[in-house]
Chains A and B, each alone.
Chain A
Amino acid sequence: MAQVKETPLLEMRGVSKYFGSVNALQDISLQVNAGEVTCVLGDNGAGKSTLIKMLSGVHSPDAGELLIEGRPVHLPNPRAAQAQGIATVFQDLATVPLMSIWRNFFLGNEPTKGWGPLRRMDVGKAKTIMHSELAKIGIDVRDPNQTVGTLSGGERQAVAIARAVYFGARVLILDEPTSALGVRQSGVVLKYIVQARDMGKAVIFITHNPNHAFLVGDRFVLLKRGRMMGSYLRSETSVEALTEMMAGGAELQQLSDELAKLADAPDIEEIAKEARELAQGAEG
């Protein structure tokens, strides 16, 4: 463990990203170790998605550098990131609904056989691998030709994660994997995260849910309006502290005061009364 910490598997040093005049991210530094779950927390617009898009090769940083095992790397496109062993489960899952499960699973990484003009996808191999990989995370696909569009949200998430685990030899990035899921399915996804960690992968878990983060996280990086608010080890923080930092304690207090004021205002009372009358009229 101590050895790993000397040279982190993945490191960002002073990374910034601008979109026109907008500073999407400014001076971000973080370290990701193998066999650890690093949680990136932040509210909407904090820059979480921009951060992972740089790690997965969708965007290039405008300043700062990315290092893999201490060596600076340039990731011009998603393929380059994949080649470095970085696999990402995007928030929209990056699946194509009209395509079958096996075609989606291997999209961009199709196994081939044959040479020259006869080089073709190895469909049998693709289906076998997809079947066993999905079985590993507890999903039994009856028909590999079924389109992804016919799967439920949780199943689709599982396909995307299984794909990332299969192709991501070292680093697995999950962008808000639990945001669209119910409590039970979220639990299943958190289990996949722990599984991947135990396989020795570095997991980066992006979320705005501190409860989910604290269940699985080893490190917590907080983002706010494109800047780093802090980086904490599990032993240094708690769910309450994370929640408070994310929401901003002072802001939360202000919001609470404003709401209280609104409730006191007479016109609110009036509106509420009218609404009650209308509702009664509709019932009658």
Chain B
Amino acid sequence: MTVTAADFQTPGPAKAGDERLAHVGRATRLLMRPELGALLGAIAVFVLFMATDATANHLWIHQTGFAAWTQQASVFGIMAVPVGMLMVAGEFDLSTGVLTGVTAIVMWFFMDKLHWNAWLAIVGTFAFAAVVGLVNGYVVVKTKLPSFIVTLATFFVLRGASVGGVLKLNAGSTQVSLTGSHYSGMASAKTIFGSSFFASKALPNGYQTADIWFVIVTIIGAWVLNRTTFGNWIFASGGDANSARNVGVPVARTKMMLFVATAMSAALVGIISFTQASSAVSEQGVGYEFFYIIAAVVGGCFLTGGYGSAIGAAIGACVIGMAFEGVIYAGWASAWDFTFLGVILFLAVGVNTLVYQRAMKARR
């Protein structure tokens, strides 16, 4: 008798619960937005390093700390945003890290070996990267092989070429550099790409111009992804490529354009690092491709495609920048930053899984 009574009561409260779910749904959906999750994570990491800051004047919360981690975050973020967008479209690019180094070497080659003006070299470097991206995209789209494999191949080709090419061109040295000040256009190129601003007594070295490029890339990425037709196609290409094709979305073209955009962003990072240092090392950037992917995942981009955020990826890059610098400020052995990133990645993947389940839960 009691059992049947309980059985009869269950549907009542369950229904009321469903009604309430619909209302709470909106609030939680806001909380479940990819950017917001990443932002809360970033605040948590910031506070953690604020608490563990072991520097004499607690510089972490001062301009010094801010400039330090943004310097790291900017060059990660310029890549994390397009890499995240590519992930939303359902593709990976593992050649991004090494390409940031190779493009720096390419710029050196144009300037030192071909005696090009710096600005012409910059145009040439972007063009070189565009070709690499086009090859990546074309092979992925035409062969329908997983982009993971295709870009892994590109990664090894570029890595080998960067070592072999530099050794051959530079008489056995692994580092290439511009010596002297006779390179035309280099001064103005450095002002735009590789210098700093807002230098003050408190912050003698100022902030990197790369920070501005980071903001520009993030704004463009967020705009394209959320507000343009192309952005709609990116979500659809990764969410369900077949359905997208059936309603007239040019999936292949969308993916190829993203591969090109990602490679050209790598060129931007290469140009920034080369104008900063006037030098480049072979194998520079190798391994960074994983940081870009971690940043994108922390920012809420699904590894399976179809969902994600450019602003989230940018925040993810900030988390990585803070992790690298914060470990130094906390006085820990710098080897631990990898462990730290691994734990963050685990947490991010957990949050993303929750978001996915919520987005896919059928409301009947």
Chain A contacts to B: CB under 8 angstroms: 56, 58, 77-79, 82, 88, 90, 92-99, 103, 106-110, 112, 119-121, 123, 142-143, 145, 147, 149-152
Contact = CB atoms under 8 A, between A and B. Distances in A.
A108 B228 contact: no
B363 A152 contact: yes
B359 A96 contact: no
A150 B245 contact: no
A152 B243 contact: no
A19 B227 CA distance: 40
Contacts of A149: 359-362
Interface in B213-235: 223, 227-229, 231-233, 235
A152 B362 contact: yes
B236 A96 contact: yes
Given A92-B243, A96-B239, A108 B248 contact: yes
B352 to A, nearest CB: 12
Contacts of B356: 98
A95 B242 CA distance: 9
Interface residues of B, number: 31
Contact of A97 (B239, B242, B244, B364): B239
A85 B158 CA distance: 48
B235 A103 contact: yes
Contacts of B233: 107-108
Contacts of A109: 247-248
Given A96-B236, A103-B232, 18 more contacts: A58-B246, A77-B248, A78-B245, A78-B246, A92-B243, A94-B242, A94-B246, A95-B243, A96-B235, A96-B240, A97-B360, A98-B239, A99-B306, A103-B235, A106-B232, A123-B227, A151-B362, A152-B363
B306 A96 contact: yes
B242 A107 contact: no
B246 A90 contact: yes
Contacts of A152: 362-364
B102 interface: no
Nearest to B223: A120
A44 B348 CA distance: 44
Given A103-B232, A110-B229, A147 B360 contact: yes
A78 B244 contact: no
Contacts of A97: 239-240, 359-360
Given A107-B232, A119-B228, A121-B227, A88 B246 contact: yes
5 contacts: A78-B248, A92-B242, A94-B242, A99-B239, A119-B229
A143 B247 contact: no
A117 to B, nearest CB: 9
A60 B50 CA distance: 64
Contacts of A94: 242-244, 246-247
A107 B360 contact: no
Given A119-B228, A149-B359, A150-B360, A108 B247 contact: yes
A251 B235 CA distance: 48
A121 B260 CA distance: 23
Contact of B248 (A82, A121, A147): A82
A57 to B, nearest CB: 8
B26 A143 contact: yes
A112 B230 CA distance: 11
A71 B343 CA distance: 64
Contacts of B228: 119-121
Nearest to A153: B362
3 interchain residue pairs of minimum CB distance: A108-B248, A96-B239, A108-B247
Interface string B305-332: 0110000000000000000000000000
Contacts of B360: 97-98, 147, 149-150
A97 B304 CA distance: 13
Interface in B40-78: none
